[in-house]
Amino acid sequence: MGFFDKLKSQAVNAAAGAVRQGAANLGCKTEKIVFADLPESLEAFKALPQAALSTPFDTAALTVAALCLYPADKELCFAALDFLRGPRPMNGMDKQFISDRFRGKDYVPRSYFEGATPDNDYMPSSPYTVVIKSDPHSYDEQGYAKLFAVCGGADSPRPVKLREAKDGKWYLWEQYLLTDVRAPASTDPWA
């Protein structure tokens, strides 16, 4: 390989690296989604501006809001999650899994609201803000987005996977938001 061929090869490789780096940076984004209040009915849930499901960030944040409904009204929570799942409603196993995760830990979904920490027993103040992030690999799989909800009771954000349907809406595909978090201070004998 001649001198100029070597320079040309290096330039092509550098350009390809820059394109890869640029594509990676496109995936890094943080959005704060704010809810003035949490809905008390399915109609109110569907009336939220984010319920248009036009971005995966909105759907991810609504997933947190839907899970927060469980302690007060389990069926409303399930109906809201079914709305977010679109053409793929939950089955009995999905519902049982969620019920199992809530046993004695109704504070877990509240831990995703900004300001909710173990020290204040995961009691956020309104308006309720959910911070959702993407990373360089969030859009690696075509038609899907893997985003991350920031949690006040964990060291790292928790994933939510969303799928874009042919209607252009982003639906909930999978969520890992009910994984255990640090115990609230009021229940921790060592705190």
pLDDT of residue 191: 64
Q: How far apart are CA 114 and CA 98, in angstroms?
A: 23
pLDDT of residue 151: 97
pLDDT of residue 101: 93
Residues of the chain with pLDDT under 70: 1-27, 191
Q: How far apart are CA 65 and CA 124, in angstroms?
A: 13
pLDDT of residue 104: 87
Which residue, among 189, 115, 190, 99, has the nearest Cα to 153 in the 3D structure? 115
Q: Quote the Cα angle for 137-140-114, to 5°.
A: 45
pLDDT of residue 25: 45
The structure tokens listed for 145 are 């987005």
Express each pLDDT in 130-156 by its tens digit.
999 999 999 999 999 999 999 999 999
Q: How far apart are CA 34 and CA 61, in angstroms?
A: 9
H/E stretch holding 10 reads helix 3-26
How many CA atoms are closer than 13 Å to the CA of 30, on its beta-carbon side?
A: 5
